[in-house]
Amino acid sequence: MSTKITMIDYGASNIRSALKAFEHLGADIELTNRPEAVANATKLVLPGVGAFGSGMAALHRLNLVAPIQDAVARGIPLLGICVGMQFLFDSSDEMGHYEGLGVIPGHVTRFVPNGLKIPHMGWNQIHHAAEDHWLLNRVPSDSYVYFVHSYHCIPDQPHSTISSTEYGIRFSAVVAHQNVFGIQFHPEKSQKHGLQMLQNYIDYRSA
């Protein structure tokens, strides 16, 4: 039986679709904005769309930042999805400079257009650097997944990127750092491969 998953609700517009994807997979999942529920969680998910600064402001307003950081420090698994992945990093330069959760060393920056349309929107391939990572189980390298974003994450430690994508540059599509994981694309819109990654997280047993 899978571990109960706590999904953090700070008002992002895609939270319900992410919740429905986990429910479709049969996950034991609760949606909450209560700091005490986050503090007592055994597995966390942080989804998101929209602007980095306003999202982090909402997390601070709801007093969720410290419980998330404390849970990570205690070894609780945390999965960030889309902008939720970007929140995991130290900072972002989206429309200013904003501090993130700081649970993965690195920063978030805007794509340089180089003749390409921004945001990066649509289906693109992911290329695995770590074929044997459990989060990528049964998701072949070169699988197509669905992206919508204008900013990308740059981990301080290159090995934190376990799968990448090419869009003008090679950027991090999936990251893993200790007990913290991130998916930049929309798994709930990425058909079987995206749902497989969510299933892998549902099935994950931390040490």
The answer to whether 25 touches 198, Cβ cutoff 8 Å, is: yes
Catalytic residue check, 188? yes
Annotated catalytic residue 186: yes
Instruction: Find the DSSP H helices in the chain.
Output: 15-24, 35-39, 52-61, 65-73, 83-87, 191-203
Per-residue tokens: 194: 């995206």
What span, in angstroms and rounded, lies between the C-alpha atoms of 41 and 70?
11
Give the helix/strand (H/E) hosting 161.
strand 161-167
| Catalytic option among 120, 149, 188, 193 | 188
Residues 49 and 82 sit within 8 Å (Cβ to Cβ): yes
Of the candidates 128, 149, 177, 186, the residue annotated as catalytic is: 186
Q: Which residue is catalytic, options 36, 82, 97, 107?
A: 82
How many C-alpha atoms does 10 have within 13 Å on its Cβ side?
28
Alpha-carbon distance of 167 to 183, in angstroms, equals 16
Mind telling me the catalytic residues? Answer: 82, 186, 188
